[in-house]
Homo-oligomer: A and B are copies of this chain.
């Protein structure tokens, strides 16, 4: 898609809900007037499952009550049609700028994992004077886990990000790398990679 975003478009509220449950999204842009499930209802359902994902409402209506209703549901912004694509993109970026502190974590080249020090650039895991070289995949996966420390790293997200394609075999491959990372980190009991069944993995530290 243009501007380097990877986006999904759904024909109605129910399809959007199913899509949201299946994959990871950084932001939701909901049309209030949608077939089957309107934007407000969809936002409520999404909030039950994920209280944090940013939501922007999109509507032709310009009624004050609707705008207030939207913000009460925890909207991050509210755009009335007609609007320019530039403005929508600007507003999306304004929100993501605040939301994804990943940019900060992304920039971070070195993580401290208990007694270990993980250097993402050198791809090394050091414990005192003992330095272990990690393979590229090991380092990529550990980096993602560190960036999402104490939060869930979704399978889909990790697979798409490291393996590009999230098929069965790549998922098995990822499991293998989780095992390897657990072995690498096994000396440090305060650091743990736990599985979140059906969702992904979480680095606890």
For this complex, into which size category does the number of interface residues on chain A fall? 35 or more
Residues of B within 8 A of A98 (CB): 54, 76, 95, 98-99
A71-B90, A77-B94 are known contacts. Are A49 and B164 too (CB-CB below 8 A)? yes
Q: A7 near B: Cβ within 8 Å?
A: no
Q: A188 near B: Cβ within 8 Å?
A: no
Give the contacts of A52-78 with B (CB-CB under 8 A): 52, 54, 64, 67-68, 71-72, 74-77
A196, closest chain B residue (CB): B136
Question: Can you list, as one digit per residue, whether each of A130-141 has a CB less than 8 Å from chain B (1) or not (0)?
Answer: 000001110000
Protomer copies: 2
A71 to B77, CA, bound (A): 14
Question: Can you list, as one digit per residue, whether each of A82-111 has a CB less than 8 Å from chain B (1) or not (0)?
Answer: 001011001101110111000001000000
Whether the pair A48, B91 counts as a contact (CB closer than 8 A) is no
Whether the pair B48, A161 counts as a contact (CB closer than 8 A) is yes
A67-B87, A71-B93 are known contacts. Are A204 and B122 too (CB-CB below 8 A)? yes
Residues of B within 8 A of A182 (CB): none
Q: A197 near B: Cβ within 8 Å?
A: yes
Question: Can you list, as one digit per residue, whether each of A158-179 has a CB less than 8 Å from chain B (1) or not (0)?
Answer: 0011001000000000000000
Q: What would 13 more interface pairs be, CB under 8 Å, given A68-B86, A137-B197?
A: A21-B164, A45-B160, A48-B160, A48-B161, A54-B98, A64-B84, A68-B90, A71-B87, A71-B93, A74-B97, A75-B94, A76-B94, A77-B94
Please report A residues at the B interface, Cβ cutoff 8 Å: 21, 45, 48-49, 51-52, 54, 64, 67-68, 71-72, 74-77, 84, 86-87, 90-91, 93-95, 97-99, 105, 121-123, 135-137, 150, 157, 160-161, 164, 192, 194-199, 202, 204
Sorted nearest first, the 4 A-B pairs with minimum C-beta distance are A71-B90, A136-B197, A98-B98, A48-B160
